[in-house]
Amino acid sequence: MNCLRDRRTSRWVVVVATAVAGGVLLASGTGYRVLEGYLARPVDSVPMPPGTLARLPMRIGGWVGQNAPMSAAMIRATDTDDLISRRYSRGGGLQSVWLYVAYGVRARDLSPHRPEVCYPGAGWTLEGNRVVELGLGDGSKLPCRIFRFARAGLDARSIVVLNYYIVDGQYCADVSLLRSRLWRGPSAIRYMAQVQITCAASGTFSEDGAIRSVSTFAVESARPILMLLPSPNKDMSGDGA
Protein backbone atom coordinates (compact mmCIF):
# COMPACT_ATOMS: atom_id res chain seq x y z
CA MET A 1 0.00 0.00 0.00
CA ASN A 2 2.83 2.42 0.86
CA CYS A 3 4.55 1.72 -2.49
CA LEU A 4 1.32 2.44 -4.35
CA ARG A 5 0.84 5.68 -2.40
CA ASP A 6 4.42 6.76 -3.12
CA ARG A 7 3.97 6.14 -6.85
CA ARG A 8 0.79 8.20 -6.82
CA THR A 9 2.63 10.94 -4.93
CA SER A 10 5.44 10.98 -7.48
CA ARG A 11 2.93 11.37 -10.30
CA TRP A 12 1.20 14.11 -8.33
CA VAL A 13 4.40 16.15 -7.92
CA VAL A 14 4.95 16.08 -11.69
CA VAL A 15 1.47 17.50 -12.22
CA VAL A 16 1.96 20.20 -9.59
CA ALA A 17 5.44 21.19 -10.72
CA THR A 18 4.41 21.34 -14.37
CA ALA A 19 1.45 23.54 -13.52
CA VAL A 20 3.63 25.88 -11.49
CA ALA A 21 6.23 26.06 -14.26
CA GLY A 22 3.67 27.14 -16.84
CA GLY A 23 0.73 28.61 -15.00
CA VAL A 24 2.56 31.19 -12.90
CA LEU A 25 5.66 31.57 -15.02
CA LEU A 26 5.05 35.25 -15.65
CA ALA A 27 4.68 36.20 -11.98
CA SER A 28 7.35 38.69 -10.99
CA GLY A 29 8.40 41.23 -8.40
CA THR A 30 8.39 45.01 -8.59
CA GLY A 31 12.13 45.22 -9.15
CA TYR A 32 11.87 42.93 -12.15
CA ARG A 33 9.07 44.96 -13.71
CA VAL A 34 11.16 48.11 -13.42
CA LEU A 35 13.92 46.38 -15.39
CA GLU A 36 11.61 44.71 -17.90
CA GLY A 37 12.30 47.14 -20.72
CA TYR A 38 16.03 46.85 -20.17
CA LEU A 39 15.91 43.08 -20.06
CA ALA A 40 13.95 43.02 -23.32
CA ARG A 41 16.73 44.69 -25.30
CA PRO A 42 18.16 42.61 -28.14
CA VAL A 43 21.43 40.87 -27.34
CA ASP A 44 24.22 39.26 -29.33
CA SER A 45 22.61 35.95 -28.54
CA VAL A 46 23.27 32.29 -29.22
CA PRO A 47 19.90 30.81 -30.25
CA MET A 48 19.26 27.11 -29.92
CA PRO A 49 16.92 25.19 -32.24
CA PRO A 50 13.75 23.86 -30.57
CA GLY A 51 14.12 20.19 -29.72
CA THR A 52 17.79 20.41 -28.74
CA LEU A 53 17.07 19.76 -25.05
CA ALA A 54 15.03 16.70 -26.03
CA ARG A 55 18.34 15.03 -26.81
CA LEU A 56 19.04 14.76 -23.09
CA PRO A 57 19.44 11.02 -22.44
CA MET A 58 16.45 9.16 -21.08
CA ARG A 59 18.87 7.16 -18.93
CA ILE A 60 21.06 9.16 -16.58
CA GLY A 61 22.98 7.05 -14.10
CA GLY A 62 20.40 4.75 -12.56
CA TRP A 63 17.52 7.05 -13.47
CA VAL A 64 15.07 6.34 -16.30
CA GLY A 65 13.17 9.21 -17.88
CA GLN A 66 9.66 9.61 -19.15
CA ASN A 67 8.35 12.73 -20.89
CA ALA A 68 5.87 14.80 -18.89
CA PRO A 69 4.51 17.08 -21.62
CA MET A 70 3.35 20.58 -20.81
CA SER A 71 0.25 21.93 -22.51
CA ALA A 72 0.61 24.12 -25.58
CA ALA A 73 -0.69 27.09 -23.57
CA MET A 74 1.95 26.57 -20.89
CA ILE A 75 4.72 26.29 -23.47
CA ARG A 76 3.59 29.54 -25.12
CA ALA A 77 3.55 31.23 -21.71
CA THR A 78 7.19 30.35 -21.09
CA ASP A 79 8.24 32.23 -24.25
CA THR A 80 11.53 30.32 -24.17
CA ASP A 81 13.53 29.02 -27.10
CA ASP A 82 13.50 25.42 -25.90
CA LEU A 83 12.45 23.40 -22.87
CA ILE A 84 11.95 19.88 -21.59
CA SER A 85 9.70 18.48 -18.88
CA ARG A 86 10.38 14.93 -17.67
CA ARG A 87 9.92 12.56 -14.79
CA TYR A 88 12.99 10.48 -13.90
CA SER A 89 12.69 7.44 -11.64
CA ARG A 90 14.89 4.75 -10.15
CA GLY A 91 14.49 1.87 -7.75
CA GLY A 92 11.50 0.48 -9.61
CA GLY A 93 9.74 3.84 -9.50
CA LEU A 94 10.03 4.27 -5.73
CA GLN A 95 12.23 7.35 -6.18
CA SER A 96 11.08 9.94 -8.70
CA VAL A 97 12.00 13.51 -9.52
CA TRP A 98 10.57 15.98 -12.01
CA LEU A 99 13.06 17.77 -14.26
CA TYR A 100 12.33 21.07 -15.98
CA VAL A 101 14.99 22.75 -18.15
CA ALA A 102 14.32 25.99 -20.04
CA TYR A 103 16.66 27.80 -22.42
CA GLY A 104 16.37 31.40 -23.57
CA VAL A 105 18.33 34.32 -24.96
CA ARG A 106 16.12 37.03 -23.42
CA ALA A 107 16.74 37.49 -19.73
CA ARG A 108 13.20 38.70 -19.12
CA ASP A 109 11.76 35.31 -20.10
CA LEU A 110 13.57 33.25 -17.46
CA SER A 111 14.29 35.76 -14.67
CA PRO A 112 10.73 35.90 -13.25
CA HIS A 113 10.38 32.13 -12.96
CA ARG A 114 11.90 31.69 -9.52
CA PRO A 115 10.61 29.07 -7.07
CA GLU A 116 10.34 31.63 -4.26
CA VAL A 117 7.94 33.62 -6.48
CA CYS A 118 6.03 30.97 -8.39
CA TYR A 119 5.26 28.40 -5.71
CA PRO A 120 3.86 30.87 -3.13
CA GLY A 121 1.88 32.38 -6.01
CA ALA A 122 0.34 28.94 -6.51
CA GLY A 123 -0.63 28.59 -2.84
CA TRP A 124 2.47 26.97 -1.34
CA THR A 125 4.21 28.14 1.83
CA LEU A 126 7.98 28.54 1.72
CA GLU A 127 9.35 26.61 4.70
CA GLY A 128 13.01 27.36 4.05
CA ASN A 129 15.78 27.54 1.49
CA ARG A 130 19.55 27.38 1.40
CA VAL A 131 22.39 27.54 -1.07
CA VAL A 132 24.50 24.40 -1.42
CA GLU A 133 27.50 23.49 -3.54
CA LEU A 134 27.37 19.96 -4.88
CA GLY A 135 30.61 18.30 -5.93
CA LEU A 136 30.77 17.13 -9.53
CA GLY A 137 32.88 14.26 -10.82
CA ASP A 138 35.43 16.55 -12.48
CA GLY A 139 36.25 18.37 -9.25
CA SER A 140 34.09 21.42 -10.02
CA LYS A 141 31.14 22.59 -7.94
CA LEU A 142 27.48 22.96 -8.79
CA PRO A 143 26.01 25.87 -6.80
CA CYS A 144 22.26 25.59 -6.41
CA ARG A 145 19.47 26.60 -4.09
CA ILE A 146 17.22 24.05 -2.38
CA PHE A 147 13.71 25.14 -1.39
CA ARG A 148 11.21 23.43 0.90
CA PHE A 149 7.51 24.12 0.34
CA ALA A 150 4.41 22.86 2.12
CA ARG A 151 0.68 23.03 1.63
CA ALA A 152 -1.68 22.65 4.59
CA GLY A 153 -5.18 21.22 4.70
CA LEU A 154 -6.79 17.82 4.48
CA ASP A 155 -4.47 16.86 1.64
CA ALA A 156 -1.26 18.25 3.18
CA ARG A 157 1.77 18.04 0.92
CA SER A 158 5.46 18.87 1.06
CA ILE A 159 7.90 19.22 -1.81
CA VAL A 160 11.58 19.94 -2.29
CA VAL A 161 12.74 22.04 -5.24
CA LEU A 162 16.37 22.32 -6.36
CA ASN A 163 16.99 25.23 -8.72
CA TYR A 164 20.02 26.62 -10.53
CA TYR A 165 20.91 28.58 -13.65
CA ILE A 166 23.53 28.30 -16.36
CA VAL A 167 24.64 31.66 -17.76
CA ASP A 168 26.96 31.38 -20.75
CA GLY A 169 28.24 28.04 -19.51
CA GLN A 170 28.67 29.13 -15.88
CA TYR A 171 26.62 27.60 -13.06
CA CYS A 172 24.94 29.91 -10.54
CA ALA A 173 22.51 29.27 -7.70
CA ASP A 174 20.27 32.26 -8.38
CA VAL A 175 19.87 35.24 -10.72
CA SER A 176 22.66 37.26 -9.09
CA LEU A 177 25.15 36.46 -11.87
CA LEU A 178 22.54 37.36 -14.46
CA ARG A 179 21.86 40.71 -12.81
CA SER A 180 25.53 41.56 -12.39
CA ARG A 181 26.20 40.91 -16.07
CA LEU A 182 23.16 42.85 -17.24
CA TRP A 183 24.57 46.08 -15.87
CA ARG A 184 27.48 45.68 -18.30
CA GLY A 185 25.07 45.96 -21.20
CA PRO A 186 22.66 43.74 -23.18
CA SER A 187 25.50 42.02 -25.05
CA ALA A 188 27.06 40.75 -21.81
CA ILE A 189 24.77 37.70 -21.81
CA ARG A 190 24.52 35.32 -24.76
CA TYR A 191 22.15 32.79 -23.21
CA MET A 192 20.82 31.44 -19.96
CA ALA A 193 19.19 28.20 -18.93
CA GLN A 194 17.21 27.30 -15.84
CA VAL A 195 17.27 23.83 -14.30
CA GLN A 196 14.65 22.84 -11.75
CA ILE A 197 14.40 19.44 -10.04
CA THR A 198 11.41 18.69 -7.83
CA CYS A 199 10.64 15.78 -5.50
CA ALA A 200 7.69 15.04 -3.23
CA ALA A 201 8.39 14.66 0.48
CA SER A 202 5.20 12.81 1.41
CA GLY A 203 4.08 9.37 2.44
CA THR A 204 7.01 7.14 3.38
CA PHE A 205 9.53 9.41 1.62
CA SER A 206 11.00 11.88 4.11
CA GLU A 207 12.11 15.43 3.42
CA ASP A 208 15.73 14.36 3.89
CA GLY A 209 15.16 11.61 1.34
CA ALA A 210 13.69 14.10 -1.12
CA ILE A 211 16.70 16.40 -0.67
CA ARG A 212 19.05 13.49 -1.31
CA SER A 213 17.13 12.55 -4.46
CA VAL A 214 17.15 16.02 -6.02
CA SER A 215 20.81 16.49 -5.09
CA THR A 216 21.88 13.13 -6.51
CA PHE A 217 20.01 13.69 -9.73
CA ALA A 218 21.36 17.24 -10.04
CA VAL A 219 24.94 15.95 -9.86
CA GLU A 220 24.35 13.13 -12.33
CA SER A 221 22.45 15.28 -14.85
CA ALA A 222 24.54 18.48 -14.68
CA ARG A 223 27.14 17.44 -17.26
CA PRO A 224 24.66 15.93 -19.79
CA ILE A 225 22.59 19.13 -19.63
CA LEU A 226 25.60 21.42 -20.01
CA MET A 227 26.85 19.46 -23.02
CA LEU A 228 23.64 20.30 -24.92
CA LEU A 229 24.16 24.05 -24.47
CA PRO A 230 26.32 26.29 -26.65
CA SER A 231 30.00 26.54 -25.85
CA PRO A 232 30.65 29.66 -23.73
CA ASN A 233 33.59 30.50 -26.01
CA LYS A 234 31.60 30.35 -29.23
CA ASP A 235 31.45 33.84 -30.78
CA MET A 236 32.28 35.35 -27.41
CA SER A 237 35.28 37.42 -28.48
CA GLY A 238 33.70 40.68 -27.45
CA ASP A 239 32.42 39.53 -24.06
CA GLY A 240 35.51 40.32 -22.05
CA ALA A 241 34.46 37.87 -19.34
Report which DSSP code applies to 175: S
User: Which residue in 151, 146, 149, 160 sits closest to 127, CA to CA?
Assistant: 149
For the segment 146-169, what is each residue's pLDDT rounded down to a tens digit?
A: 999 998 877 778 999 999 999 888
Residues 78, 117, 39, 107, CA torsion sign: negative
Residue range 35-59, pLDDT digits in tens = 444 444 444 566 778 899 999 999 9
Instruction: Return the ∠ at Cα 10 (arms to 116 and 195), rounded to 5°.
Output: 40
CA 134 – CA 26 distance, rounded (Å) = 29
**pLDDT band per the 50, 70, 90 thresholds, residue 125:** very high
Task: Give yes or no for residue 24 having a pLDDT over 60.
Answer: no
Closest to 60 in 3D by CA, of 177, 228, 187: 228
Domain ranges of the chain: 2-228
Query: Does position 128 have pLDDT exceeding 90, yes or no?
Result: yes
Chain centroid offset of residue 28 CA: 16
Amino acid occupying residue 185? G
**CA nearest neighbour of 158 among 190, 198, 105, 213:** 198
